[in-house]
Chain A
Amino acid sequence: MKKFKGLDCILLVDDDEVTNYLNKVLIKKSGIDVHVEVALNGEIALEYLTSTGKYSGNNGFPKPGLIFLDINMPRMNGWEFVEEYSKLDSNKKADIVIAMLTSSNNDDDVNTALEKYELPAYLYKPLTLEKLEEIISKFYPVEV
């Protein structure tokens, strides 16, 4: 088991349960010691980050160091989530890395993510061990 400094939790935001399941298996397989939380849309993800709604009273939650965010989701999609997220208090979002994880290779989407919202990463599905390790080593280089 490997543990990276500052990375206590990975939040998977995707409405597809199978994808979430597979990504959980993948993270487990990678041997990284980290809590994995799943949110089926942007709204639930926000509730997790702010300890509201379904997560009210959950103050001891591990704060995610990495969010894998799908674009196309019901209720609140990836872009709407990013909009709402940017309004949060800075202490709630400090040090969180948001990575788009989508099957869209539409140029518009890539540009929106990287230029408009200045997201640090844009990954194509499916997530693989290589992609996971690359993004973690980039943003959480210190192994403890």
Chain B
Amino acid sequence: MVEASPISLVLVNSYGKIAYLNSYAEKLFLYNKNELIGRDLSILLPQKYRSHHPDLLKDYFTNPVTRQMGENRDLYALKKDNVEFPVEIGLNPIVTVEGTLVLAAIIDITERKKANEQFRLVVESAPNAMILADYSGTIVMINKQTEILFGYERDELVGQKVELLVPGTVKRYHPQLRDKFYTKPQARPMGVGRDLFGLRKDGTEIPIEIGLNPLEKNESQFVLASIIDITERKKNEEAIRLYTKRIEAKNKELEQFSFIASHDLREPLNSITSLIDLLLEEDAGKVDAEMLKRLDYIAKSSSRMKDLVKGLLDYARLGKNSEFGIVDFNEVAAIVVNDLELLVKNSEAEINVKRLPVMAALEVEVHSLFQNLISNAIKYSSKYRKPKIEISAQKVESGWEFAVSDNGIGIPKSQQEKIFVIFQRLHGRNEYEGIGVGLAHCRKIVELHDGKIWVESEPEKGSTFYFFIPLK
């Protein structure tokens, strides 16, 4: 029986003499049987353990039962070549005619120790707090980061239940959560969908994120919890949330402001117009030519202001209450060209629409975008040639890039940024009509699509307006 066992076995009598050993023990200790049989057991012990070993032996024989040797103590043995190595030893009393012997089953745990040590090093050097706990929720191992995070010393935590680190109400039902984990142990983040907090030694709570990993070590089940302090992240998130809220409020205020301002400006304007109408209709005979001219100027100014206010109001209202839908840009272009029929005919413009995409967009706004760009292309045409307009689109990585090009008067480089700003005009009113909202509208529409609009142009040759609309 002793010889066939795959572990090292050494039989020792009550005097501490080696009675027998199997071949595994020979290989382990590098001795031959006959070198050891009859020798004192202490030959297999490192020097430092030899003096008190006889006492331990004596204790054992007063009560010889099957048990592990050296509970809670690291055991070491000595090979023939004087190499010390860690062991685990099981003791079994054997009663024979020569009296009671003890059979020591010895396992070399060098590899296991090494693996344990490596594991410890990995855990220790992790940038997160890590806690190894067994199935009963008892903390087995922690690292330096855990000490720092929770404010405990290592030996204040090891041996304690993990609930020591769980705050308030959760503390009570945490053991149940733990049990649930062990019914289906798999790596996962803890507490999905709820905010987790850790309890520090000083009683303060910290927001944390926990990853759980089931782990088999030395043939037992453990769970390794990796814990991150997310105080900073929470703080940043909160700051961003507040900031966003502030911007939203400001935006709304601005929207309201332009709406109300435009609105309230209209009433007195209406009154001015009506009063002038009354004067011109009923009192025309009473005013002289000079006064008539002044009245006419007042009329023109108020009518212009009315247009400006309307432009501002329309601008503020762009994109309000509109929703994205699937828009066939070919159809939109065709409708717009048709709407502009008279203008196209009078200017003898040639409009060439290439294949355009069908994509998610704000239909009403896109309509207005094309309307503005095409009518601009006709309006700012050269007096030396008939307007030629081409509308095309090409697929780029994350969306479509559209181009509306003309052979018109063009825009000087220095003015190209300015044209997209509301009420900015490049020409005198007597040259070209308008209040300078068209391209500002275009830019706002494109930006409502999270896109971009720009122009490439050369004076006297023509302009190409590009706009990019990303895919939704």
Contacts and interface: CB of A to CB of B under 8 A. Distances in A.
Interface in B254-293: 263-264, 266-268, 270-271, 273-275, 278
Max count, chain B CB within 10 A of own CB: residue among A16, A18, A25, A72: A18
A104 B278 CA distance: 24
B275 A22 contact: yes
Interface of B: 263-264, 266-268, 270-271, 273-275, 278
A67 B270 CA distance: 21
- Please give me the 3 A-B residue pairs with the lowest Cβ-Cβ distance, nearest first: A18-B271, A126-B270, A22-B274
B271 A16 contact: yes
Main SS of the interface on chain B?
helix
B271 A22 contact: yes
B249 to A, nearest CB: 20
A103 interface: yes
Main SS of the interface on chain A?
loop
A69 B425 CA distance: 40
A19 B275 contact: no
8 contacts: A16-B268, A18-B271, A19-B267, A19-B271, A22-B274, A25-B278, A126-B270, A126-B273
Interface in A112-126: 125-126
Nearest to B270: A126
A103 B267 contact: yes
Interface string A14-26: 0010110010010
Contacts of A125: 266-267, 270
Contacts of B263: 103-104
A125 B268 CA distance: 11
Contacts of B266: 103, 125
Contacts of B267: 16, 19, 103, 125
A125 B265 CA distance: 13
A85 to B, nearest CB: 23
A92 B204 CA distance: 69
